[in-house]
Each structure stands twice: as C-alpha cells, then as structure tokens.
Chain A
Amino acid sequence: MTPPPVAPGTPPVLQLVGISKYFPGVIANEDVSLDVRSGEILALLGENGAGKSTLMNVVTGIYQADAGEMILDGYGARFSSPQEAIRARIGMVHQHFKLVPAFTVAENIHLGWADTPRNASPAILEARTRELSERFGFPVNPAARVEDLSAGEQQRVEILRVLARKARLLILDEPTAVLTPAEARDLFRALRAFRAEGNAVIIISHKLDEVMEISDRVTILRGGQKIGTWDTADCSPRMLAATMVGREIVRQNLLLRADGAAPRGTEAELSLRGVSVRDERGVETLADITLDIFGGEILGVAGVAGNGQRELTEVLTGLTIPTRGQVLLGGRSAEPGAAAFARHGVGHIPQDRLHSALAPSLGISDNMALREYGMPPIGGNGLYHADAALSLAREIADIAEVTIPDFAMPVRNLSGGNQQRLVARREIRIASRVLVAAYPSRGLDIGAIATMHRYFAELRDRGVGIVIVSEDLEELLNLSDRIGVLCHGRLMAVLDSAEADIERIGLLMGGRTDLPETGAETKI
C-alpha cells in the first residue's frame, strides 16, 4: 500500500517551526522544526531524553512551547490544553494507556467526549462503539471490561477512542512495546489503512527494524535537537542507529564467551520444582513451573507482559513464597525471604526499579547500602556505619560511571538512566550466584542498553547465572543461551536459542505449541 498522492501546494498537516521547551536545568527541545504531510507515517527516533515525548506533549497541548510556532494545515495554532488539541483533530496514544480499568470498552470510548449522548444506556453506548469499531477497522468487544483485556486489545481501545474523536493526526508512543509480533503486524496493517485515507501518523520508537518497516520518513532527535529528516527508503538500520546515538555502535556478539570465561555450570544454582503461585483472589498466576538456572549461562524469559513474569521474578528472588512447589538454591531448599536470597547471592533488578529498588527521598549512600546494610563494614552488631555506606556508594557510582556531586542528595535528583545504572551495579555486586533482571533495557537508550548487556556478559563469564525477562525478542536472542516462553503463567517451552527463532517464540507467546514442525522439547 503506497501513500496516496497529494496535490501540490497542500500544506503539511502539521508543521513545527523552531519549537523549544525548557525545564529547570534541562533543555528538552531546542529549535526543533519538522513537518508531517497528509498520507504519511513519520517515525520520530531518538535516545531516551532526546526530547521525543516532550515534543509530542507540546503538539498535544500537555506542555506549551517556550518558543517556536505550530502550524496546522497552514494556520498557526496554540493549544493550552489537550482538549484543544483533540478538537484540532490531533490524537495521541500514550505508552501507558490512559483507560479506566473498571469501565467497559464502550464506557472508556465515550468518557469525556462531547458527542456522548446524554443519559445513554449501556446498550446505546455499546451499539455506537460497535459501529465505530467497524468503521475504523479496529475490532473490540464493547461490553468487555478493560481490565480483562490483553495489552494489545487495550491499545486498540485507546486508538479507537482517539479515532472516534475524528483524529487526522495520530501520534503513537512506542506502540509495539507491549504487543506480540502478531499483534504488532495487525497494528501496522491498521495504520497503513489509516494512512491510505490521507491521514497522518507520527510514531515514536526505539526499534529500528520497526521504523524501517512502517515509516515513510524518519526524523531523528538527539539532545533535544533535530538532527535531520530522511526518506526511510534511503536509510539503513545501521545508519539510523549511528545517527541517533551520534557515534557508531559496535555490536558485539555477546553470545561469544571471553577467553578464560567460566564454563557453563553443571549443577543448577537456582531451581524451581513444580512451582505454582496463586494471587490473593485465588487466581493461578504461575502454574507448575520447573526450571533450572545454571551458572555461566543467560536464560531469557519471553512473553507478553502480564503472563506471569512478575510472579516468576518474585519467586526466583524470594519475594513471593510459592503456593506449591519448591525453590532450591544451590541444590538445597532455599531459606525463605528476599533478604536471605540476597545474602545467598541472588541479585534482583526489578521491573519497576525506580519505584521498588530505591527510596527516592533518601540519599544516594543510603540507597546503595540497601543490600549490604546488614553485614560489615556497613552493618554488624545492629549498627549502621554511614561512612562505610558512603564509601560503598562511591565505589558503585565509580564502576557504574555515574558522576555524583553529593552522595547525601536524594536519589530522585538523579536522572532515571543513572538511577538504573546504580541499581544494576548494586545488584551485580551481590549476585554471586544468580542475577534476575526484569526488563533491563526498558527506559534506556541504545548506548545504555549496550552497556547493560556488556555487564551481563561479563557477569556470565564470571560464572554467574543470569535470568533476563524481556518482551524484546531481539534482545533475548542476542543474549540468551536458552529462552523460556511464558504464557498465562505456564512455561510453554525452554528452547536453546540456537534453535529458536522469532516466529516460533511469537507463537509460543500466544499460547500455541502445536504449529511448528520441528520436534522441540515442549513441556507443559
């Protein structure tokens, strides 16, 4: 499907001229100019903190630009609220969906919408939703509650809500982050159909392959400034990556062991035996998982978010005690509790590290002592030696290559990326047996991801077992020796990554074990 022809002289749907946006101490956008034409998909590419989200928040009226102009269809525009942007037919789908989980799909679609009929019954709302769903080609079940939907379905609701308000410019922030490969393909098909009607799309993404596949043009931001805009046809992923980071990224083969690396262990460091977990509602979130993690290997865990990953990492790190089954640490039944697991050499980079691995209002020293406060030199005899905590923090900051002006300052004053590096280094320090890392690259830019992956490879070469939970299959295939796939709390299979390919893993993620013809070990 090619973009429809546009009459010459038609003004772009949206034109930004010299947009600047400043935050205290940070220049988020500086003199950014770009245009989006009708009937095109523009990819906005950039590292974390490059200013992509800020720029889009300016376009959708969440922020107001400090300088510069916004021109819609040839007329100047200025939005002082998101509502005004919606009236101007600009719609944004955020990375974190803004839906009411307890409401039905129909109610979410009609929430805060001037066209919603007054005193409408659920039946009327659902009929209207069904009609919208057919008109825009986004199949949804109007009566379903949003909390019962998968991430992909929730995204469809979100997009439909934007389209229902007659959006002509659709902005998507990392739309495929939570989707299975099949769902992502469905989304792209729908976006192409949307484009074919002369509408415009801006898609924010980190994923180069995706950008190559879906976009017509690419604009790259770096350090808040626009680096350039190219026709996607003239680009290669390699060139995009280098332009985005500002230097050539050397992709190492991380599966390759360094000389003198510890061999893969023969006895499991950490094992699960028939482990099941029920949540407080009695729903089984992990079902009968048997898994061994050996030293000197990286085990990837694939799956769409919400299929038991959180529970699996919590069981592996001692945070959750399984309802059934056994957790073995070094072959012996593990002493329960997260503190005991950490003491026995299990490090944990949690999914929401900024919220659960750090105490934001406390100082950096205090935060770096979190794993070692109980033992000398920081702890011992019930004491807490602040000076020892300080020198530990210096050591961690040093090795993480984070410059810190004042170790007593609250850790939340650091940027998110630096907080992550500190947490990663703190956990790697104690991970003498196993490191469990959930979504380690989430929220990091390409350069930081490469650093993080290097950490993992080094740790593996030291003989530590590493579990990486991720929804980025590319990342898993690049790093893992074996890949386990989770679906609905079950471990669908553990594949040697040599025999694993994206398509096969994608099917397993969707819960299908029957299709591939290769006779791989599939245990349930």
Chain B
Amino acid sequence: MRFQRFPTAPARLVLAWRAAALFAAALITGVLLALSGRDVFELLALVLKSTVGSRFGLEDLALFMIPLILTGSAVTVTSRIGLWNIGGEGQFYLGAIGAAGVGLYMPGPPILVLPAMAAAAMLCGVAWIAVPTFARAYAGVNEIITTLLLNFVAGLLTYWLATGPWRDRVTGALASTGRIPVAIPEIWGVVHWGFPVALLIACGLAVIMTRTSWGYEVRISGANPGAARYAGMPMRARVIAVMLLSGALAALAGMFEVAGTVHRLQGGMADNFGYLGIVVAVLARKSCLAVIPAALLMALILDAGIVLQTQQLAATVVLAITGLVLLLIAIGDELAHYRPVAPVVRPASPRLPPASKTTI
C-alpha cells in the first residue's frame, strides 16, 4: 500500500480527518489532565453540560457564534480574491466605536437608532480598511501588514475613548463607556436578533459568491489573477469592493457585540474575535457557508475553555488546548490530501493503455 499526495482534498476526507483530529485532541487533553490528577470524566461531563447540554450553554454558544460568523466571513471573502484581511480585530473595534457613538449620543426610538448604529459601524469599519485597500489596489502594498498594524491603533483608540472623552461618568466603571440606552431585542434567552442576521449574512455571501457574476469575477480573480486579466475583468474594482465589504462585516460584528451583548464600549472588548475570525476562515476553507459550522466549533472551544477556567485550570491551559485542536486539524487537513494508490505491480498482461489516456 502506497500513499500519494494529491493536489486536491475531497470534502469527505477533510471532514473525516478533522473528526479524527478533534478526537485525538480530546484524548491528549484528557490524558494530560488525568496525569495532573484531575477527574477527566467529571470535567468532560461538566463541559458538555455547560455547552451543548443545557439551555444556558446553548445560549452562550450562540452569543459566541455571532461575532465569529461575521469576522470569519470577513476573512473568507478576502481569501476568495486571494487576499488576507488580518485587521478584523481593528475593524471590529471601529464598528464598536461607531455603534457606541451613535447609541450614546443619538436620542430616538430603537427602530431608528439601531439601523443608524449598524450603518455608522459599517462606515467606520470601511473607513478603517480603506487605507490598506487603496494601498493594495493602487500601490501593491501588502494588505496583511497594513491591516494587522492598524489593529493596534484601533485597540488603543478604543481605550482612549473609553477612558477619556466617552468614559462612564455615572458608575465610574473601568475603561468603559456608560450603558447604551438601546439594545438589539432578544429572541431566545440572552440570544439577540444578531444571531439570525449573522446566519443570513453568511448564507447571503455564499449566494453572492456562487450565483452572481460579481462573485464569479471575484472567484476567478482570486484563483488566478492572470486569467482575470486575460478575460478583461475589472480586478482592481473587485479587490477594492471585497476589502471594503470585509471591513464592513468585521465592523458589524463590533456593532452586534456593543448593541446586543455588552451594551457598552469597553477597552479590550474585541477579545480576539477579529483574530479568531482568521481561524474560522481557515477552518471554513474559503467556503462562505462552512463559516457557520467553523464558527460553531470555535465557539465550542471558547465556551469549553471558560468552563475549564471555572474549574481552576489556568487560562494558559485553555489556550494550549485551543492550539492543540487547531494544530491537529491543520495536520488532518494536510493528511486529507493523501490517498492510497494502487500498489505497483508489474503488469504482465494486458499491456498498459497509452499514458495520454491515463491522465483523464
């Protein structure tokens, strides 16, 4: 039996290997926890109960999924055109800032204020990614560097607003604005309307990518810029549109977090959702629809991590487990490229067909 690496990995194999990777990660974690004297089965039961096994757990999962779906989509759309938006974190903050600014200072009924918050958030996100976008489209500046560096600026800007001009003057909460008077209505426990909207957005993006000529041009441009040029596609316009869209998506995640979950602008509130969006996108393998299950997996990992922390496991242990899961999944994805090939036998007869026929 010989194994050979193929350039493509069928989805079926990827899923199978990922399941194996998750199992292996759970096994390794379990063994290590057992060696350090923990009761693994008790922990496992607790994790299951407080994630998928209870209503509160499920609500938490959904809340985690909202920003992850959006930041994951933000990275996925750029990956379709062959670019990487590493700045989801920064655009998330800018979305949060835009939403909080409107929410705090624009009086009015929620039916008007909420859309205004969303619009302001997306505008801010678009503005934040505008410089990397135009630098990429007109000067070929690597968008990975520019979007990444702007994250730090955005994070500090949020801290400055939350401790300076917009700080909470009522309760004096640390690095936080006051409570925003409007909130996205809840539909199920603490889960708000952001959840179905995020799901709809992911599905809508999938439709746009596969069922519109705009999406077709984006896919061709991403798969081979040379072919896009050859066919006379307006590649620069597509790059600009996709990057701005990406910024708006990540910013919308910030808005949902501010208006649906946290109800304030807080320093550090992005909580790595922007970066985890990259992980979600990698797990989704460029598919806009697969962002949803990928976000669910990520949410499960995050949620399980919090449960473990309540059991006196250090936060670093949780990070290590996350890393282990992702590492094994990456290995699984690579292994999915390998398939067994027929063992070499010397064919005595019949004689082989001509090579030109065997290559399909």
Contact = CB atoms under 8 A, between A and B. Distances in A.
A362 B219 contact: yes
Interface in A444-463: 445
B213 A383 contact: yes
Contact of A386 (B211, B220, B360): B211
A340 B232 contact: yes
Contacts of A51: 355
A362 B286 CA distance: 12
A338 B346 contact: no
A350 interface: yes
A172 to B, nearest CB: 22
Interface in B249-264: none
Nearest to B223: A359
B208 to A, nearest CB: 10
B7 interface: yes
Given A319-B229, A370-B220, A370-B231, A382 B214 contact: yes
A408 to B, nearest CB: 11
Contacts of A412: 7
B237 interface: no
Interface stretch (A20-28, A125-133, A139-147, A153-161): A20-28
A318 interface: yes
A200 interface: no
B358 A27 contact: yes
A49 B232 CA distance: 33
A386 B210 contact: yes
B141 interface: no
Contact of B231 (A339, A383, A414, A445): A339
Interface in A372-424: 373-374, 379, 382-386, 403-405, 409-410, 412-415, 417-418
Interface of A, secondary structure class, is loop
B140 to A, nearest CB: 13
Interface string B187-231: 000000000000000000000001111111101100110110111
B341 A360 contact: no
Given A339-B231, A360-B223, A386-B211, A373 B360 contact: no
B230 A338 contact: yes
A417 B355 CA distance: 12
B360 A405 contact: yes
B213 A379 contact: yes
A67 interface: yes
A516 interface: no
A25 B216 CA distance: 32
Interface residues of B, number: 35
Contacts of A352: 226
Contacts of B344: 22, 66-67
A492 B346 CA distance: 56
Interface residues of A, number: 63
B7 A410 contact: yes
B227 A383 contact: no
B232 A339 contact: yes
Interface string A344-377: 0000101010011111111000100111011000
A26 B355 contact: yes
A169 B233 CA distance: 49
**Residue from A28, A384, A415 whose CB has the most chain B CB atoms within 10 Å:** A384
B231 A338 contact: yes
A482 interface: no
A382 B213 contact: yes
B8 interface: yes
Interface in A412-446: 412-415, 417-418, 445
Contact of A356 (B210, B211, B213, B227): B227
A30 interface: yes
Contact of A383 (B7, B211, B354): B211
B23 interface: no
A384 B352 contact: no
A32 interface: no
Contacts of B355: 26-28, 49-51, 223-224
Nearest to B353: A223
Given A340-B232, A357-B230, A410 B360 contact: no
A172 B224 CA distance: 32
Given A370-B231, A371-B231, A373-B213, 9 more contacts: A24-B6, A223-B352, A356-B224, A356-B229, A362-B220, A374-B213, A384-B216, A414-B359, A418-B359
List 5 tightest A-B contacts by C-beta distance, closest first: A339-B232, A338-B232, A223-B354, A359-B223, A415-B359
10 contacts: A24-B341, A27-B355, A224-B355, A338-B232, A342-B231, A359-B219, A362-B223, A371-B231, A384-B213, A405-B360
